[in-house]
A and B are shown apart, each in its own frame.
Chain A
Amino acid sequence: MKKVPLTLTFSGVLLVLALAPTVLDSYYLGLLTLILVYSLLAMSVDVMAGFAGRTPLCHGALFGCGAYAVMYYVATLGGSPIWGIAFALGLVLLVSLVFALLAVRTSGVYFLLLTLALGMIIWGVCLRWTSVSGGENGLRGSIRPNWLLDPMRFYYFVFLCSTFLSYALYRFVSSPFGLTLKGIRESESRMQSLGYNTTLHLTIGFCCSGLFAGTAGIMYAFLNSFVSPSSVALTQSVKGLLMAIIGGVGTLFGGVAGAAIIIVLENLVSSMTERWSMVLGGLFVFTMIFAPSGLLGKFRQK
């Protein structure tokens, strides 16, 4: 197979995404918006899993944390969306920082476990803290400012945001800082002996990655006008991780493809049966057995 230049692929994808609203009806437009939102989540997971070599299982919780925070601020307290976003980002940053301080000194399975437990705590709090989170019913309410109510305009808003943020993430991972993270993935002790403060690097990396996951969550809240404990649950983290893995760990933009595959599949399966979580689990098992480095990675190698 002849190799298509990467820039060409990117411009093609961007062009398709920019023109898509002209031909899609509102349902598919919503789906496409959702894919963009989840791509951001998948990429934020990949920053940790692919570049820092620490597979996290808490990004769904950070995602949900952002969504809950903005919903609570705007819909429950009646604040302005801009301040809601600032509040949510601040909260996500704080939570990420706490998680990072606790988790980054561990690696491998222990890191996975810790982030899983930490993420579950967020879920537990969202489920039980009924007076703030609305318990099982979640929070509901339109929080989009008037100028974003039109689905097409909202799509372009998300499109521009996520393109910009993806570029920012790309610059982040290819910066000297990102390369240091890669170095830590390869050998933490070597980086330490070279004089790098690996804990600090991992903490900052984790916080950045968490912020992006939180941003995705904020966009999700804007899109759906609804957030419930299931948006914070483990399944969400699993979904984010699976998107990153399917797209290819360490490829960053692979997450977009992973998100597209999972979201489309989710909608397809959900329209036929209620057994989506079975399919998601099965897909996870299948991926881990046959293509742990990513389905797309497999194709690329050939």
Chain B
Amino acid sequence: MNLTIFQLLNGLTFAALLFIVASGFTLIFGLMRIVNLAHGAFYLLGGYLAYWLATWSGSFWIGILGAAFLIASVGWIEQKILRLVKGVELHQVLLSLGLALMINDASLVAFGGDTLSVPIPDILKGPMPVFGMLYPKYRLFVFCAGVFVFIALWLIIQRTKLGALIRAGVDDAETIEALGIDIKKIFIFTFMLGMALAGIAGALGGAFLTLYPTADSEILVYSLAVVIIGGRGSLVGAAIGSFAVAMLATFGQVWFPELSYFVIFGPMALLLAFKPTGLYGKA
């Protein structure tokens, strides 16, 4: 019984991390119609940068903030490059894939192939009692961070003017532009926001999932699954998708350790058979 609760909590914390990665991914996809396949690479790079900053400065928080800031800046450069093939979505996606390969290789050069772990502050170290058992504090912190990001994003998107513009942009970017609003600025903001989230996720995930050269692909597949399940551009969809994927991945690892990757595939397939655009996706 206790073990099940333990796994449940593991699933929840992993879902929170996935949500932080996938929310940025889905927002960019929804608004700009770009599937940024370099998202996983940015997650990993964010983790590495956080590791580097945190060990150098001795502060985990500087690591997170620095990673978010730096990855957002790299994101700014990326959207400039993506602009070169503007208009053809497929080419943009493939271009981002090429960038992903380059960023990964650059990360490998800079940080080596060893498994690294972002150092966490003392206050988050060790276990604490939850539901009558001991659970790592840090994972609970990640869970809280995920919930915080969800609420913050939800408030931005549902309650601010900028959010209204983003929502309108997801539905029909051309009309927004025709109304005299500089959609380009919104694009850039969303892109950088998504990238910053990838950087933050890298920093958070780098402390408990560790950082290693193929981590980017794994996170990318999970994020893809989240977006495919949740539908493009939907925050709630991303939250539900993250939850589903994380639970399946966590329990899959316990029940079928060797085929855990395969387990997330089942519900994805089922969903696609009935609703190819995902739960909350618009055609």
Task: List B contacts of A125 (CB < 8 A).
Answer: 259, 261-262
Other CB < 8 Å A-B pairs besides A105-B272, A238-B98, A292-B91, 4 of them? A98-B269, A101-B273, A113-B224, A285-B98
Cβ–Cβ contact B81 & A285, under 8 A: yes
Q: Decide yes or no: A233 and B217 within 8 Å by CB, A108-B89, A284-B97, A288-B91 being known contacts.
A: yes
- Interface SS majority for chain B: helix
Which residues on the B side are within 8 Å of A277 (C-beta)? 101-102, 104-105
Contact call B261/A116, Cβ cutoff below 8 A: no
Smallest beta-carbon distance A282→chain B, Å: 6
Residue interface bits A150-175, CB-to-B below 8 A is 1, else 0: 00000000000000000000000000
Residue of B nearest to A287 (CB): B98
Interface residues of A (CB under 8 A from B): 55, 57, 98, 101-102, 105-106, 108-110, 112-114, 116-118, 120-121, 123-125, 127-131, 233-235, 238, 241, 245, 275, 277-278, 280-289, 292
Residue pair B89, A109 in contact (C-beta under 8 Å): yes
Specify the chain B residue showing the minimal Cβ separation from A233: B217
Whether the Cβ atoms of A292 and B35 lie closer than 8 Å is no
- Is B85 in contact with chain A by the CB < 8 A criterion? yes
For A126, the closest partner residue in chain B by CB is B261
How many interface residues does B have (CB within 8 Å)?
A: 47
CB neighbours (8 Å) of B89 from chain A are: 108-109
Contacts of A127 in B (CB 8 A): 214, 261
A-B contact pairs, 16 of them (CB 8 A): A102-B269, A102-B272, A112-B93, A113-B35, A113-B228, A114-B228, A117-B224, A117-B228, A128-B258, A235-B101, A238-B98, A238-B101, A281-B99, A283-B98, A286-B98, A288-B94
B residues near A235, Cβ cutoff 8 Å: 101
Residues of B within 8 A of A289 (CB): 81, 84-85, 95
A284 and B95 contact, Cβ closer than 8 Å, known pairs A117-B228, A121-B265, A233-B217: yes
**Residue pair A124, B35 in contact (C-beta under 8 Å):** no
Q: Which 10 interchain pairs have the tightest Cβ spacing?
A: A281-B101, A284-B98, A124-B261, A281-B102, A285-B98, A278-B105, A120-B221, A288-B95, A117-B224, A129-B258
User: A294–B100 Cα gap in the complex (Å)?
Assistant: 21
B106 engages A278 (CB within 8 Å): yes
> Are A128 and B260 neighbours in the complex by a CB distance under 8 Å?
yes
Residue from A116, A280, A285 in contact with B224 in the complex, judged by beta carbons closer than 8 Å: A116
Contact partners of A285 in chain B: CB under 8 A? 81, 95, 98-99, 102
Q: How far is the CA of A125 from the CA of B261 in the complex (A)?
A: 6
Bound-state Cα–Cα, A118 to B224, Å: 10
Q: Does B37 contact A (CB under 8 A)?
A: yes
- A contact residues around B262 at 8 Å (CB): 121, 124-125
User: Contact: A282 with B91, CB < 8 Å?
Assistant: no
B41 to A: closest C-beta gap in Å = 10
- In the bound assembly, the distance between CA atoms of A127 and B259 in angstroms comes to 10
Q: Which residues of B contact A116 (CB under 8 A)?
A: 37, 224
Q: Which residues of A contact B37 (CB under 8 A)?
A: 116
Contact at A108–B90, with CB atoms within 8 Å?
yes
Question: With A and B bound together, what is the CA distance between A131 and B38 in angstroms?
Answer: 32
Q: Which residues of A contact B12 (CB under 8 A)?
A: none
Bound complex: CA A278 to CA B105 (Å)? 6
B85 touches A238 (CB 8 A): no
Structural contact, B268 and A109, CB atoms closer than 8 A: no
For B217, what are the chain A residues with a Cβ–Cβ distance below 8 Å? 120, 123, 233-234
Given A284-B97, A285-B99, A292-B88 contact (CB < 8 Å) = yes
Closest residue of chain B to A136 (Cβ to Cβ) is B214
Chain A positions within 8 Å of B269 at CB level = 98, 102
Residues in B neighbouring A286, C-beta threshold 8 A: 98
Q: Cβ of B179: which chain A residues have Cβ within 8 Å of it? A: none
B207 at the interface (CB under 8 A from A): no
Distance (Å) between the CB of B36 and the closest chain A CB?
Answer: 11
What residues of A have a CB within 8 angstroms of the CB of B95 in the complex? 284-285, 288-289
A120 to B33, CA, bound (A): 22
Distance in angstroms from A91 CB to nearest chain B CB is 15
B276 within 8 A of A: yes
Most chain-B CB neighbours within 10 Å: which of A98, A124, A131, A288? A288
8 A Cβ contacts from B30-52 to A: 33, 35, 37
Q: Does B218 count as interface, using CB distance less than 8 angstroms?
A: yes
Question: Would you call A131 and B258 a contact (CB within 8 A)?
Answer: yes
Query: Which residue, A121, A125, A282, has most C-beta atoms of chain B within 10 A?
Result: A121
- The residue that A241 contacts in the complex, of B84, B94, B224, B259, with Cβ under 8 A, is B94
Alpha-carbon distance A123/B105, docked complex (angstroms): 19
A276 vs B98: C-alpha distance in the bound complex, in angstroms?
Answer: 12
A-contacting residues, B185-240, CB 8 Å: 214, 217-218, 220-221, 224-225, 227-228
Q: Which residues on B sit within 8 Å (CB–CB) of A234?
A: 217
Chain B residues whose C-beta falls within 8 Å of the C-beta of A117 in the assembled complex: 221, 224-225, 228, 268
The distance in angstroms between the C-alpha atoms of A130 and B228, with both chains bound, is 28
Report the bound CA distance from A31 to B98 in whole Å. Answer: 25
